[in-house]
């Protein structure tokens, strides 16, 4: 019998069918990297299965240990409030450990660069290319600070300049960041890198704001780096749970 904690990946959900399809593709990729691990997917809103539905099913099957991983790039409202609230509704036999959100991580930087190269850029283009790191946006200062630091980390890999931008709730919007980069000395081309996991309304807004850019990369999606990051966050939470259990003995 497999006694490993189940990995429950919790995505936000969207009315856009591309969102759920992309999340499922990412989860399948992560599962393929760890064949002995049971991986489940659930959504906070719009899509099925719901988080409570999956937790009820796992409890009915006799599962006892779950690592719940928020499929989020920053620790904003959903990670701080929505996910813990829904996990508190889990049936009593389940022991749930909430993993850290995905960002920040060097694997995310690598995934962003992969998408930029897939969009037509090459490592040799870095010194003359400005990049707009365009995220969904948040009103949470901690999340905004993480996006700004991620932009700085991406800049340190050799890009001419990197500016953060936001599709909602924060400034600047993507189009303003594109124009600002265009005016910077040394920037001969501008690329927009969506710092979002799956397609949807806000990623579409990022794409619309990239109209004046030279290059628009794809969303992070089921990139190998993101799949590896899911497993790294799972491992971190599982090890923490083991340390707590050992200390209690």
Q: Is 219 helix (H, G, I), strand (E, B) or coil?
A: coil
Give 19-28 pLDDT, tens digit per residue: 999 999 999 9
Asked whether this chain's domains 6-103+223-248 and 106-216 adopt the same fold, the reply is yes
Residue percentage of the chain with pLDDT more than 90: 92
* Residues 6 or more apart in contact with residue 17 via CB below 8 angstroms: none
Give 179-191 pLDDT, tens digit per residue: 999 999 999 999 9
Contact 146, 106 (CB under 8 A): no
pLDDT of 3 strictly over 90: no
Residue 158, phi-psi category: left (phi > 0), alpha (psi -120 to 50), beta (remainder): left
The DSSP bridge partners found for residue 10 are 42, 70
Average pLDDT, the chain: 95
Average pLDDT score over residue span 216-224? 98
pLDDT at position 241 is 81
Contact 229, 105 (CB under 8 A): yes
* Calpha distance 201→137 (Å, rounded): 12
Contact 78, 48 (CB under 8 A): no
Helices (H), the chain: 17-33, 51-60, 77, 83-87, 106-118, 141-155, 174-182, 201-209, 224-248
**CATH fold of 106-216, please?**
Rossmann fold (3.40.50)
The band of 1, judged by pLDDT with boundaries at 50, 70 and 90, is very low
Q: Would you report the helix, strand and coil content of the chain in percent, each value rounded to 5? A: 45, 15, 35
* Calpha distance 96→90 (Å, rounded): 8
Tokens standing for residue 31: 């599962």
pLDDT at position 219 is 98
pLDDT at position 242 is 80
Give all strands of the β-sheet with 215-216 in edge-to-edge order. Answer: 161-166, 129-135, 189-194, 215-216
CB atoms within 10 A of CB 121: 21
Instruction: Provide the whole-model pTM.
Output: 0.95
6-103+223-248, which class in CATH? alpha beta
Give 71-118 pLDDT, tens digit per residue: 999 998 889 999 999 999 999 999 999 999 999 999 999 999 999 999
Cα separations (Å) of 196 from 74, 220, 223?
A: 10, 6, 12
Domain boundaries, the chain: 6-103+223-248, 106-216
DSSP, residue by residue, 26-53: HHHHHHHHSTTS-EEEEESSSSSSBHHH
pLDDT of 249 strictly over 60: no
């Amino acid at each position: 019998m497999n006694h490993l904690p189940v990995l429950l990946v919790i995505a936000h959900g969207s009315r856009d069918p591309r969102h759920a399809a992309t999340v499922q593709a990412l989860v399948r990729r992560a599962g393929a990297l760890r064949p002995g691990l049971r991986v489940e997917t659930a959504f906070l809103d719009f899509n099925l299965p719901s988080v409570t539905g999956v937790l009820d099913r796992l409890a009915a099957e006799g599962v006892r240990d779950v690592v719940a991983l928020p499929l989020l790039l920053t620790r904003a409202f959903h990670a701080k409030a929505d996910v813990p609230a829904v996990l508190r509704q889990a049936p009593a036999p389940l022991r749930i450990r909430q993993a850290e959100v995905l960002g920040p991580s060097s694997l995310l930087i690598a995934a962003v660069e992969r998408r930029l190269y897939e969009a037509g850029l090459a490592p040799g283009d870095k010194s003359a290319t400005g990049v707009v790191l365009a995220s969904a946006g948040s009103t949470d200062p901690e999340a905004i600070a993480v996006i700004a630091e991620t932009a700085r980390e991406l800049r340190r890999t050799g890009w001419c300049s990197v500016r953060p931008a936001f599709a909602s709730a924060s400034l600047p919007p993507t189009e303003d960041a594109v124009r600002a980069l265009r005016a910077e000395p040394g920037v001969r081309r501008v690329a927009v890198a969506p710092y979002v996991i799956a397609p949807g309304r806000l990623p579409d807004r990022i794409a619309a704001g990239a109209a004046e850019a030279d290059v628009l990369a794809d969303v992070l999606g089921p990139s190998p780096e993101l799949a590896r990051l899911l497993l790294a966050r799972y491992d971190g939470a599982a090890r923490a749970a083991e340390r707590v259990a050992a200390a209690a003995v």
